[in-house]
Amino acid sequence: MSMTDLLSAEDIKKAVGTFAAADSFDHKKFFQMVGLKKKTPDEVKKVFHILDKDKSGFIEEDELGSILKGFTAGARDLSTKETKTLMAAGDKDGDGKIGVEGGSL
């Protein structure tokens, strides 16, 4: 299963391009642009599992920093600030990682 089986390559390209500048990343807009908001919970889970590279069941900070690369290989890494903002948004229980259940991804 690859990201483009779940999401449109065109939408991903557009979304990644929109947030190409450092510190411009807006996860809500990004997830909307790639079409994640329209996906079923099951499909969102599949996307999550692609982003969970070490299959730990969680997205840890290092995986979060390269989250855009999970969508398309040529994308940039998030800055430390962006990574921390995204972690704070998705980490509901404050354990420093994002789980698939109840996460904002």
Backbone conformation region of residue 86, classed left if phi is above 0, alpha if psi is from -120 to 50, else beta:
alpha
33 vs 67, beta carbon nearer Ca ion? 67
Specify the residue for token string 């994002």. Answer: 98
Look up residue 38 and give its two tokens. Answer: 């329209």
Tell me the C-alpha distance between 50 and 59, whole Å: 10
Tell me the C-alpha distance between 52 and 44, whole Å: 12
3-state secondary structure of 66: coil
Q: According to CB under 5 A, which one of 15, 16, 27, 52 is a site residue for Ca ion?
A: 52
Listed ranges 3-11, 57-65, 72-80, 81-89: which one lies at the site for Ca ion (CB under 5 A): 57-65
User: Does position 91 bind Ca ion by CB under 5 A?
Assistant: no
52 vs 82, beta carbon nearer Ca ion? 52
Residue 53: CB minimum distance to Ca ion, A: 6
User: Does position 54 bind Ca ion by CB under 5 A?
Assistant: yes
Which parts of this chain interact with Ca ion (CB under 5 A)? 52, 54, 56, 60
